[in-house]
A = this chain, B = another copy of it.
Amino acid sequence: MATLKDVARLAGVSVKTVSNVVNGYSFVKPDNRARVEAALEATGYRPNLGARNLRRGRTGFIALVLPELSIPYFAELAGLVIAAAQEHEWNVLIEQTFGTLSGERLALASLGPHLVDAAILSPEALQVDDFQLSVPAVLLGEHAVDVPISRVGIDNVAAAKTAVGHLVSLGRKRIAAIGAHPQRGTAALRLEGYRAALAEADLEFAPSLVVPALNYHRADGAAAMKSLLDLRNPPDAVFCFNDLLAIGAMRAAAERLVRVPHDLAVVGFDNNEESLYSSPSLTSIAPDKAAIASAAVDLLHSRAGSPDLVPADVQTPFSLLVRESTVAR
């Protein structure tokens, strides 16, 4: 692999002049510039990023800490973050926590200024004390704990209220919720939106219709749905805190020969592509994931120099996409 030194020798100039050409410094004589460029071409020179970053005091990487890539929401988001990071010449390092406290702590511990310039975090279990970060960071989604770190995400209360309001407008009376979780901030907010929508419609809040989910996988949704269908008085609608839960719930309903949406209307959250092709297709809250990704990256970029500004709270848009799981074809 060619280094600056090789190029310099070939072009008959000093290393620094080559460096100047590479970095677009103006004051280089045309003929020297031409010779250097020819030599760059001839050697196929590519800067050693490690050395450059060592010298510049940055790493060229940002970390994306998320529960699991096999969860479609995070996979899609990761793809968008990678694309957004490219615009700022950042490479993205993905760390999976599997949603556990220990996994998240481990990931955080491995984050140092020597490894990444900044981090995008999607924590689920972290406590206040854990947020002793050595690099600028942005949190995705809500966090239960109150820490002075910027946040990017949608208004979960409003989104949940919209979703449940939709079910109410369809005339559903016994509306269940799947996805309550003691630790997760987003879960608490979505539950709050759920209750607000019920209250607004003068529907009674029934604790028995709120089912917790430890993980937000399809299997959890199916299990939760089964327990709801076992109730003496089962629901006629269900709001799931993410699409995977909803997919699992619809599967469980199908196995019990409960018709969706006729007997049971289902709304999800995240708008995974999967939900557009399920049978029936799934009504879902659609956050603007590209907006989340680019807002997070831009925020980190703009703050790269000035670490301790007042934390930002960026609200990205969302919409409700009505499909067959609530309104039949």
Contact = CB atoms under 8 A, between A and B. Distances in A.
A278 B1 CA distance: 50
A277 B249 CA distance: 9
Interface stretch (A10-18, A51-59, A191-199, A230-238): A51-59
Contacts of A1: 112-114, 134
A279 B277 contact: no
Interface in A51-105: 51, 53-54, 59, 68-70, 72, 75-76, 78-79, 82-83, 91-96
Give the interface residue-count category, chain A.
35 or more
Nearest to A252: B277
Nearest to A74: B75
A29 to B, nearest CB: 29
Contacts of A93: 91-93
A189 B95 CA distance: 34
A209 to B, nearest CB: 23
A83 B50 CA distance: 24
A74 to B, nearest CB: 8
B279 A254 contact: yes
A134 to B, nearest CB: 7
A159 interface: no
A91 B68 CA distance: 16
Contacts of A218: 273, 276-277
Contact of A78 (B53, B69, B254, B278): B69
A54 B79 CA distance: 29
A250 B278 CA distance: 9
A28 interface: no
A251 B273 contact: no
Given A69-B78, A82-B94, A278 B279 contact: yes
A324 B59 CA distance: 50
A227 B87 CA distance: 40
A9 interface: no
B277 A222 contact: yes
A96 B69 CA distance: 14
A247 B54 contact: no
A50 B277 contact: no
Most buried by B among A1, A54, A222: A54
A83 B98 CA distance: 11
Contacts of A278: 251, 278-279
Contacts of A262: none
24 contacts: A1-B134, A46-B112, A48-B114, A49-B115, A69-B75, A69-B78, A70-B75, A70-B76, A72-B75, A75-B75, A75-B78, A82-B96, A92-B93, A218-B273, A218-B276, A218-B277, A222-B277, A248-B277, A251-B277, A251-B279, A251-B281, A254-B279, A278-B278, A278-B279
